Structure 1
Amino acid sequence: MFEIIIALFDNRPRRPASVYNLLVGKKTLSTLYAALLHDQLQWVGLLPDLARSEFDDVIAAATRQGDLVTHQTGLTATRASTVTLPASYQPWMDIDGFAGRFYLAVQSLSEASFSNRQYRPVTPDWATQAWVRQWYRQLAQPQAIAELTALFAALPAPAANRLALGLVGHDYVGSGLSLTPAARLADIEAFSALLARLDAEPQRYPSWAQLWGGRHAILSATNAQALALAAQGANRVQIQAALRRKMSTVNEHLLVGAIFGAEFPLDAFYPPAQKRQFDAQALGDPEDYQQLLAAVPGSDFFSGAPVSDSHAARKVATMTDLTAVLQQTFGFTSFRPGQRELIEAVLAGRDALGVLPTGSGKTLCYQLPGRLLPGTMVVVEPLLALMDDQVARLQTSGEKRVVALTGQLSQADFATVMGALDQYRFVFVAPETLTRPDVLRRLTQLTISAWWSTRRIASRSGARIFAPRT
C-alpha cells in the first residue's frame, strides 16, 4: 500500500486528505478539482475499502523516512514510486462491485454443470447473491460458459491467469489471491482488462455484459440529472426547482460535471456582459481560481436566484432526455415496449395503467421517474421477498434513500423510519401496512410523486390526501 499511495504524490504540493478522498471515491468538488490539476481523475475510487487509519500510517511513515516532504500547502514526493498504477483502470468499471458477482457467477455455472445445487457461495454478501440469482434465472448456461471461455481466450495471458487464481468451482479452488499491494494492483489490472473487453464488445459476451450491468455512473443520479437538464438549456433556477436541492448543491453538481468534461450552454448561466468579462480574463495559476472570480465583480461561476416550485420541477422533468437518463443511470441504451409511455405519463402527472409481461422491465417504470421527480415514490408490494430484492437492487445501484416499511421491523425501528419518512425517495410498503392509521396519517404529510403496485402505476401530481389502492 505504501508505494501505491506514494505514486499519487509528485513535485507539486498535495493535501493528504485530497489523495485519500480520491482513492476511496469521495467525489467532493475540492477533491476532484485537485485530481484534475494533477492529472489523476482516472484514479477516482481505485481503493474504495482503504481505511483512513492505514492511509495515515503510510503518510506518517513516508514523511519520517523522507519520501514525502511537508510544505505549507501540502506534501511533495522526493522520489518516484516503485509501482505503476493500472493503466486500463477506469472509475466507471465498478471493479469492487463486479468482482464478487463474477466469481459467484462462475461458481454457480460450474456447480450447475455438475447438477450440484448444494454448495457454499464464495461470497456471503446478500446483495451480490440477489444480483447473481436474478442474472442466473435469465441465463442460457451453455452459451454463458462458451462466452466465458472466449472471453478468457481474448484477454492478455497475465490478466487471464490472474483472474483464474480466484476462481472457485465444482471440486476446484484456485490457488487464491495474495493480499499484497502489488497483488491488489494486479487484480485491478486483470479486471480492468476484462471489463474493457465487455465494454467494447458487449454483443459478443452478452451474458457477462449483463452481469456487469454496463458502465457504472461516476456521478450521483442527482448530479447526472442536473447535467442532463443543463445540457437541454435549463437554467440554474429551473434545475433547482426540478431537483429540490439547495442552490449551492446545484452549483456543485454543475462544477463537478464541468471537471469531468460535461458541456452545457453557457448562455443559460451567464448574462452576456458577465460572460464577456470572463472571456477577457487570463487565468494564471489554475489552482487559484479565486483570482478569476475577483476579477469579475459579483460572479460566483453561475447566476440566478433560488426558487422552489413543484410545478416547475415536474415541467422540467418532462423535458428531460429520458434516453440519456436511461443510459447514464441504468446502463441501457433503449426502452422496452411500453416503458417510455408509462414513464412519460407519470412524469406528466397523469394516471396511467400498464399491462406488461413478466421480465419486461416494470421496475424501471417507477425507478426512473422516481429519480427525476421531487417528493416520494410509494411502492406497494405484497411479496416481502420481492420487496427486499428491489430495495437491495436500488441500494446496489447507488440510491441510498430507499426503505421498506413492513411489519418485519422492530417497534423501535418502525418508529424511527416513520419519523424520517420524508427523507426517503422510495418507500416500499405492503398492502396491509397501508391499512394502519398511523401509516396513512404519516403519508398524508408527504409530497407523493407517484404510486406503484405490482398491478399498475398511478400518479397524482402534488397528491397530499389519498385512499389506499386495491
Structure 2
Amino acid sequence: MFGHLVLTCVDRFRGERTVSGIYHLLTGKRSSQTLQDAKGYELDMLFGVYPSLKRETLGTQVQKLVHDGCIQINEQSFPSITPEGIRQLSSFPVYELEYFEGMVWHDVIPTFMKRVYLLLQTVANTNAGIHQYVPIVDDFATQKWVRTVYLQFQDKLPKMVESMYEEIHHLLKKHPSQQADLFAHRLTGGGVIGMTIDQLKREFTLNVEDVELMLQHTHYYLFLESKTKKDDYPVLHLCTKGLDATNLITRSARKTYQYMKQGLSLQEIMNVRRLKKSTIQDHIVESALIIPDFSITSFLSEEDVREINKMGSQMNTKKLKQIYEALEGKYDYFELRLALAKGQHAIKEGMTQDEV
C-alpha cells in the first residue's frame, strides 16, 4: 500500500515536484505550497494520511521503486513514473484506498480512534469484571471523554458492549479482509490484549508502513461510515461527536483574511501586522485555496484568472516558472499562485478552465 501511495503521488505530480513535496503532502504540512500541491494535483485525499512518516523511510521506498523500474529521477531530483509504474498503479485495487479523505478529516481521525480504542477497553473490561488495568490511551482529554460517556451509560453497559462489537463486526465484514483483520487484532478489552504494530507486522508478514497505512485507512472507513449513519452505528457515532471537518486555514492566515474582509490593502495589512510582503501573500494564497468564495478581485480580474489557468491547462503544468515564461512575465509569481488557487475551486465545481 505504501508503495502505491508514493507511486500515486509521483504520477499526479507529473515530474514537477521533488520527493520532499511527497513527504510534505503525506505528513500534512500546513504551508501554502503543500496545500496548493494537494489541490492542484488532485491529491487532497492523501493530505496528512501518514503524519508519522519519516523522510528516510520515504527515501528508501523511492529508491526501491527506482530499482524496480517504476519511477525514474532526473538530474534535478524530480521523480517521474515509468510505463512499469503505470502498470503497477493500474493493477492496485482502488477500493483499498477509497476512504482516505485526508484534507478534510486528517485532524480529527486520531481523536476518534483514541475514543474508540479506550471506550471499548473500558466498557468491555468493566462488563467482564476487570477493574484494574492500564488504559491503552494515555491522553487526558480522551480519558475525560470516556469517563463522561461511561457515567452516562453505565446502567446500560452490557447492551453498549454488545452494540459496539456488533457495529465494528458489521463494518469490518464489508471492509478488505486483511485491513479488517489487522484492526481486529489491534483491539483491547475484556481480558484480550491488542497487538502492537511490530507484532502485527510479524503476524501478517507486512512492513511497518503497510500496517500503519492499512490501519489508518480502516480508521477513516469507520469514522466516515459511523458519522453519516447514526442509526446503524449509534455507539461509534457517539465517538464522532464534536469532531468536525478540518479548517485548514492557519490562525495567522485567518488574521490576514479578517483584515482583507475589512477592506485593508496588502500594504496596510503588512503595516498593521508587521510582517513581510511574502508572508502576507502566502496567507492570501492560503485563504484562496481553502475558502471557496474568497474574492481576489483586488489583485486579479476574472479575465486574468482565466488567462493564467488556460495557459496552465494548455501546457499541462502547475509549474509557476513555465507558466510565467509562457505568459512572458505578464503576471508575477504571487498572481500566478492566486489564479491557480482560484481556478482549482472552479474545477471542483465542474467548470472548465475556459469558464474559470
TM-score bin, normalised by smaller chain: 0.5 to 0.7
- CA contact 1:90–1:192 (8 Å) conserved in 2: yes
Q: Give CA deviations for 1:178-235 in whole Å, capped at 9, x if unaligned.
A: 2334443432332222111233145776664454441352515416735863895655
Q: Give CA deviations for 1:265-320 in whole Å, capped at 9, x if unaligned.
A: 233x337xx66555555423342335458654678339xxxxxxxxxxxxxxxxxx
Instruction: Tell me how far apart the structure 1 counterparts of residues 5 and 303 of structure 2 sit (CA, whole Å).
Output: 44
State yes or no: 1:288 paired with 2:319. yes
Instruction: Tell me how far apart the structure 2 counterparts of residues 241 and 210 of structure 1 sit (CA, whole Å).
Output: 47
Q: Give CA deviations for 1:100-156 in whole Å, capped at 9, x if unaligned.
A: 332122101112223433102224x3xx24423234224423375465356336525
Is the partner of 1:8 in helix, strand or coil? helix
Q: Unaligned stretches of 5+ in structure 2?
A: 337-356
Is the partner of 1:264 in helix, strand or coil? coil
Q: Please tell me the residue identity of whatever aligns with 1:117.
A: H
Q: Please tell me the residue identity of whatever aligns with 2:60.
A: D
- CA contact 1:278–1:296 (8 Å) conserved in 2: no
Query: Which residue is equivalent to 2:63?
Result: 60
User: What TM-score do you get using the length of structure 2 for normalisation?
Assistant: 0.67
- CA contact 2:167–2:236 (8 Å) conserved in 1: no
Is the partner of 2:292 in helix, strand or coil? coil
Query: Which residue is equivalent to 2:147?
Result: 136
State yes or no: 1:6 paired with 2:7. yes
- CA contact 1:226–1:250 (8 Å) conserved in 2: no
Is the partner of 1:22 in helix, strand or coil? helix
Instruction: Tell me how far apart the structure 2 counterparts of residues 205 and 234 of structure 1 sit (CA, whole Å).
Output: 47
- Give the 5 Å matches for 1:63-462: 63-72=66-75, 74-78=78-82, 79=85, 80-81=88-89, 83=92, 84=94, 86-91=97-102, 92-93=105-106, 94-123=108-137, 125=138, 128-139=139-150, 140-141=152-153, 142=156, 144-145=160-161, 148-149=164-165, 151-152=167-168, 155-159=171-175, 162-174=182-194, 178-179=200-201, 180=206, 181-201=209-229, 208-209=236-237, 211-212=239-240, 213-215=242-244, 217=246, 219-222=248-251, 225-226=254-255, 229=258, 234-235=263-264, 237=266, 246-260=276-290, 262-267=292-297, 269-270=298-299, 276-279=303-306, 282-284=310-312, 285=315, 286-290=317-321, 291=323, 295-296=329-330, 300-301=334-335
- CA contact 2:26–2:50 (8 Å) conserved in 1: yes
User: What TM-score do you get using the length of structure 1 for normalisation?
Assistant: 0.53
Relative to structure 1, the CA distance from residue 65 to residue 119 in structure 2 (aligned partners, 3 Å threshold; closer, same or farther) is same
Is the partner of 2:100 in helix, strand or coil? coil
Q: Give CA deviations for 1:411-440 in whole Å, capped at 9, x if unaligned.
A: xxxxxxxxxxxxxxxxxxxxxxxxxxxxxx
Is the partner of 2:80 in helix, strand or coil? strand
- CA contact 2:115–2:146 (8 Å) conserved in 1: no
- CA contact 1:144–1:207 (8 Å) conserved in 2: yes
Instruction: Tell me how far apart the structure 2 counterparts of residues 103 and 280 of structure 1 sit (CA, whole Å).
Output: 51
Q: Give CA deviations for 1:1-53 in whole Å, capped at 9, x if unaligned.
A: 44442332228214111011111111323333333343212101121111111
Instruction: Tell me how far apart the structure 1 counterparts of residues 163 and 270 of structure 2 sit (CA, whole Å).
Output: 46
Query: Which residue is equivalent to 1:24?
Result: 27
Relative to structure 1, the CA distance from residue 249 to residue 165 in structure 2 (aligned partners, 3 Å threshold; closer, same or farther) is same
- CA contact 1:101–1:129 (8 Å) conserved in 2: no
Q: Please tell me the residue identity of whatever aligns with 2:10.
A: F
Relative to structure 1, the CA distance from residue 21 to residue 280 in structure 2 (aligned partners, 3 Å threshold; closer, same or farther) is closer
- CA contact 1:199–1:215 (8 Å) conserved in 2: no
Shift of 1:246: 4.6
Instruction: Tell me how far apart the structure 2 counterparts of residues 262 and 147 of structure 1 sit (CA, whole Å).
Output: 40
Structure number having the greater strand percentage = 1
Instruction: Tell me how far apart the structure 2 counterparts of residues 280 and 6 of structure 1 sit (CA, whole Å).
Output: 32
Query: Which residue is equivalent to 2:345?
Result: none
Instruction: Tell me how far apart the structure 2 counterparts of residues 144 and 236 of structure 1 sit (CA, whole Å).
Output: 56
Q: Please tell me the residue identity of whatever aligns with 1:67.
A: C
Instruction: Tell me how far apart the structure 2 counterparts of residues 242 and 198 of structure 1 sit (CA, whole Å).
Output: 45
Instruction: Tell me how far apart the structure 2 counterparts of residues 262 and 38 of structure 1 sit (CA, whole Å).
Output: 17
Relative to structure 1, the CA distance from residue 214 to residue 227 in structure 2 (aligned partners, 3 Å threshold; closer, same or farther) is farther
Relative to structure 1, the CA distance from residue 161 to residue 2 in structure 2 (aligned partners, 3 Å threshold; closer, same or farther) is closer
Structure number having the greater helix percentage = 2
- CA contact 1:231–1:264 (8 Å) conserved in 2: no
Q: Give the number of aligned pairs.
A: 296
Which structure is richer in relative contact order (CA contacts within 8 A, separation 6 or more)? Answer: 2
Relative to structure 1, the CA distance from residue 38 to residue 196 in structure 2 (aligned partners, 3 Å threshold; closer, same or farther) is same
Superposed CA RMSD = 3.7
Instruction: Tell me how far apart the structure 2 counterparts of residues 220 and 119 of structure 1 sit (CA, whole Å).
Output: 40
Instruction: Tell me how far apart the structure 1 counterparts of residues 227 and 194 of structure 2 sit (CA, whole Å).
Output: 26
Instruction: Tell me how far apart the structure 1 counterparts of residues 244 and 229 of structure 2 sit (CA, whole Å).
Output: 13
- CA contact 1:230–1:265 (8 Å) conserved in 2: no
Instruction: Tell me how far apart the structure 1 counterparts of residues 52 and 224 of structure 2 sit (CA, whole Å).
Output: 22
